[in-house]
Amino acid sequence: MPETLPESLKQKLSDRLHYYEDIGVGQFYRERGTAWSPREQRIPALAPDLMQRVEETSLPKREMKPVPPALARNVVLPPTEIVSSLFDATTKIENDTLFKIREDLGDCKRCKLCKTRNSIVFGDGNPTAELVFVGEGPGADEDEQGLPFVGRAGKLLTQMIEAMGLQRKDVYICNVVKCRPPQNRQPERDEVEECSPFLFRQIDTIAPKAIVCLGATAAKTILKTERGISQFRGEWQEFRGRKLMATYHPAYLLRNPAAKSEVWKDLQKVMAELGLTVKRKSS
């Protein structure tokens, strides 16, 4: 029968063995014929001198010394503090500018669209505009020229802007993704996730009074919704304290001219918000 140990010594030995197990030391020398586990309450007898050393030693708490990562097989480390990324869509960056955003975007290779693009189409217009138009992504003409909305749909958007009593230089125009999706397909989720933080920074920097989302992709990205655009088109929404109006994309109007009247109604609401009036031509 092994010698019975005092309860205080049992506790100290148990704590020490737990400490060794936590740092990855799992095997100890033992005499043949003896078998025990670090977790067992019964502990084999130790030599008197070792017992004395253990009794006299104040065992360290397990958390006193940091455990080397290489040994920490069973140690659960406290969670590290989460630091917001420069491109975190929810974080507003102090003293940001369009120049800094474009500089951060760089020769972007964050998603697969970089493999097929010719140009990064960042945005164009008044950096302090009261009105920002947000589209889906560049098309072939935009990819070639490096400017947003310069193709057929872009010409129609220009007409829409002029009908509001403004010029393109008065507004700011950009897209959710800055590179053309192949065959003008819709941007995929991973592409939107990589590129949309730059869009949010653009909007925060410009600080417009109103935002017009052209098409479902822009509206769903900014509003973070899966609802179809027809369910909220023409109704004021809010994005970071700014009014947002979703309407149909000019490319959709080229295919469905009858919808132009609906878009004009939406734009009239935007005009009222901005205090714009239509200049009627004298007869």
Arithmetic mean of pLDDT, 39-53: 46
pLDDT in tens, 105-145: 999 999 999 999 999 999 999 999 999 999 999 999 999 99
Going along the chain from its start, the domains and CATH numbers come out as: 1-78 (no CATH), 98-274 (3.40.470.10)
pTM of the model as a whole: 0.68
- Looking at 43-52, 69-78, 269-278, which range is the least confident one? 69-78
Identify the band that residue 8 occupies on the pLDDT scale cut at 50, 70 and 90. confident
- Predicted confidence at residue 219, as pLDDT, reads 97
148/29 Cα distance (integer angstroms): 74
Identify the band that residue 279 occupies on the pLDDT scale cut at 50, 70 and 90. low
C-alpha dist (Å) from residue 47 to 3, 32, 43, 54:
11, 16, 12, 11
pLDDT over 80 at 38, yes or no? no
Per-chain mean pLDDT for the chain: 81
Arithmetic mean of pLDDT, 28-51: 46
pLDDT over 80 at 220, yes or no? yes
111/190 Cα distance (integer angstroms): 7
